[in-house]
Chains A and B, each alone.
Chain A
Amino acid sequence: MSTVNEAGSAPAVRQKRQSLWVAVLHTGEGMIGVTLGIGMVLLIILGRFFGPSTDYNVGLPGSGSSAEHWFGTDTLGRDILSRFLHGGDTVLLIPLIAVTLALIIGGTLGLFGAYWGGWPDVVISKVFDVILTLPPLLIVLVIIGGLGASNTVLIITVALVYAPGLGRVVRGTAQSVMVNPYVLSAQARGESDLAIIFREVLPNVSGPVLAEFGLRLTYAILFVATLSFLGLGVQPPAPDWGLMVAENRGLITVAPWGTMLPALGITLLAVAFNLTADAISRVLAGDELSRLAVI
């Protein structure tokens, strides 16, 4: 039978989360991912204060590295390093907002689906499954084709693309949590559905959902940067990294940094989040498969 300490009180949850992060940092890839991620986020937030100049430092268009312009200038003669240090926000913020929105939409549906069961659950799961079979980039491009490119359209379409994946993980995890004694005892105490969902179920699905959130954030960073690269995401004159890659690739023979620096920025950011997400899911899975293998 269940004992009292299984009743998932708040301190127990907090302790569990702390030990998750400690375990993630103990894996090699988690350490690299988290360190790199913190470094990139600091660069994006604080970079603008360390730029060679706070205003765009204009010089000769398309020149290579020099003492004045460490990483050269772009097609309009703007300093690459200054634009790079100012341009990280859209690369991180738009995906972050979109995936958070996706988590709210998908997570709410998944949570209620798991809690209610029956036909609402079936309908919600089927809708998730069906949306997951659609090719994301094609669908988002078509929607942008109809509605035009803007940050709002970008956030909403990307959120809709990622909502089912997150929703499915929330639903699956919530379903396995739902049978725990502390949920049953809360139901027996006569607590309201909403109270049970938010106080008992939600805190206990956070681990797997965190891993999935990190993974989707990686995809969304790649996705939004790609749209900007294609000219259908963030619009000029924003110093967005994806847009910079597209603008400066014509100069790749004479001033390669204009392309390579923002490309490196996007890559390091995505790699950091992917390593972290992978480390979290490995810790949660306990890496059992590699221990059990016989050959």
Chain B
Amino acid sequence: MTDAAPDPLMAETPLGPQVEGPAAAPPKGGAAAAILRFLVQRIVPALITLWLISIVVFASTHVLGINVALRVLGRQATPEQLAEFNKSHGLDKAVYEQYGVWLWDFVRGDWGTSAVSDRAITGIVVPRLEYTMILAIAAIVIALPLAIAFGIYLARPGSRARELALSISNVSVAAIPVFVIGIVLIYVFSVKLGWTPTDSSGLAFGSWTDKVAAFILPTVTLVITLMPHISRLTQVSVRETMTTPYARAAVLRGLSRRTITYRHLMPNAAGPIVNVVALDLIWLIGGVIIVENVFGFPGLGTLLVQSIAAGDLLVVQAVAMVSGVLFIGIGVAADILVTVFNPRLRNG
């Protein structure tokens, strides 16, 4: 061994700038440029994702050898009707032209009419959008602090038995299908105990207490599904910071566990957590679609599945696009909020 690996404990000065020193000097160009760069870093990837979703939506509903006119007008349509539908919807033009027109119509809010209910799609989507938004945001606002607190708790090294029990339960909960969690909750709290309504139909017809009650079980289900991943990630991230030289230094200086955890470990562990939370919010779309269908919650997820089953393609397109915009928007917003509250991340 000629070139011995540097001792990790000696590699950095324990009381280096990452502990309490001033933050790294901001990049050149002033505050405005920094804010701009920050926004670009977060918004451009989100726009690329949205653009890709639009291509998948357009391709799978317009291009992949499916006769849209036949699907929308039904089997009884005459050839003249089909030709006229194709002409009026621009389906006789080149594919890229069709895509452009379609995307522009969507951006302008011209989403067409439902083949099933013959109503303007905007009128069907917008009220459901509000409910879905409230559900998703309620789930995030409750799940995030809970999951992070639980992750910090998990990160404390304990006995082997405690470690094993906690990790087995975390991994197991992560593998329970969302719809099973929802149905078990319905069985226990609605059927057996009678505390909550068995479905969320009260949202459409009931009084305001019924409306609030309609949110309880769907929100709880989403919180349970969001917990394992975020808490596991917090655990790993906090534990990684526990092995760093400045954590050792803090222990040696005799600081309390509470001070070390919240002043020294959490700010440094936050970066990876935030990145994954943004990704989890994209996964949350899936959770919301499932939960809405389990509880008959009148949101975008139920509309999407019903429209797919009914072959109402224009509604499918609109709901998929709106869901994409909504959840990626929530992801970017959460990302920006967390960064604003945690100055350490701004230059990272």
Which A residues are closer than 8 A to B by beta carbons?
28-29, 32, 130, 133-139, 141-147, 218, 222, 225-226, 229-232, 242, 245, 249, 252-253, 256, 259-260, 263, 266-267, 270-271, 273-275, 278, 289-290, 292-295
Question: Measured between C-beta atoms, what is the minimum distance from A63 to chain B in Å?
Answer: 17
A-B contact pairs, 27 of them (CB 8 A): A135-B285, A135-B286, A135-B324, A136-B286, A137-B285, A137-B290, A138-B286, A138-B324, A139-B56, A141-B308, A146-B64, A229-B290, A242-B177, A249-B183, A252-B187, A256-B191, A263-B179, A270-B175, A271-B171, A271-B172, A273-B175, A274-B175, A292-B242, A292-B243, A295-B247, A295-B251, A295-B261
B282 at the binding interface (Cβ < 8 Å): yes
Tell me if A's interface is mostly helix, strand, loop or mixed: helix
Contact across chains for B290 and A230 when beta carbons are under 8 A apart = yes
Known contacts: A138-B286, A252-B186, A295-B251. The answer to whether A145 contacts B257 by CB under 8 A is no
Is residue B70 contacting chain A, with contact meaning CB distance below 8 A? no
B contacts with A: majority SS? helix
A289 to B238, CA, bound (A): 10
Question: Considering the chains assembled together, what is the distance between the CA atoms of A249 and B294 in angstroms?
Answer: 10
Contact of B172 among A141, A263, A275, A295 (CB under 8 A): A275
Asked if B1 CB lies within 8 Å of chain A CBs, one says no
Instruction: Report the Cα distance A260→B49, complex, angstroms.
Output: 38
Give per-residue flags for B251-266: 1 if the beta carbon is below 8 A from chain A beta carbons, else 0: 1000001001100000
Identify the interface centre among A130, A138, A139, A252: most chain B CB within 10 Å of its CB: A138
Contacts of A278 in B (CB 8 A): 167, 171
Contact B49 A137 (CB under 8 A): no
With both chains docked as a complex, state the minimum distance between the C-beta of A26 and any C-beta of chain B, in angstroms: 12
**Partner of A293 from B157, B179, B183, B283 at Cβ < 8 Å:** B157
> CB distance B52 to A147 under 8 Å?
no
Q: How far is the CA of A101 from the CA of B165 in the complex (A)?
A: 34
Check A274/B171 contact, CB under 8 A, given A222-B177, A259-B183: yes
- Chain A residues positioned under 8 Å from B272 (CB to CB): none
Cα of A21 to Cα of B333 in the assembled complex, Å: 44
B168 and A29: CB pair below 8 A?
yes
Determine whether the beta carbon of B282 is less than 8 Å from that of A144. Answer: no
Q: Which residue of B lies closest to A140 (CB)?
A: B286
6 smallest beta-carbon distances between A and B, as pairs: A137-B286, A146-B60, A274-B175, A270-B175, A145-B308, A292-B243
- B236 at the A interface (CB under 8 A): yes
The CA-CA distance from A32 to B171 in the complex, in Å, is 12
Contact B56 A142 (CB under 8 A): yes
Question: Contact between A130 and B53 (Cβ–Cβ < 8 Å)?
Answer: no
A253–B247 touching, CB < 8 Å: no
Chain B residues near A270 (CB-CB < 8 A)? 175-177
B156 within 8 Å of A (CB atoms)? yes
- Distance of A147 Cα from B279 Cα, bound (Å): 28
- Distance (whole angstroms) from the CB of B209 to the closest CB of chain A: 23
Q: CB-CB contacts of B201-235 with A at 8 A, as 1s and 0s?
A: 00000000000000000000000000000000000
Please name the residue on chain A nearest to B57 by beta carbon.
A142
Give every chain B residue within 8 A of A145 (Cβ-Cβ).
60-61, 307-308, 313, 316
B308 surroundings in chain A (CB, below 8 A): 141, 144-145, 232
Is the CB–CB distance between A294 and B251 below 8 Å? yes
Inter-subunit contact B163/A290 (CB<8 Å): yes
Task: With A134-B53, A138-B285, A138-B286 as known contacts, state yes or no: A226 contacts B178, CB within 8 Å.
Answer: yes
Decide if B45 is an interface residue (CB 8 Å cutoff): yes
B248 adjacent to chain A (CB < 8 Å):
yes
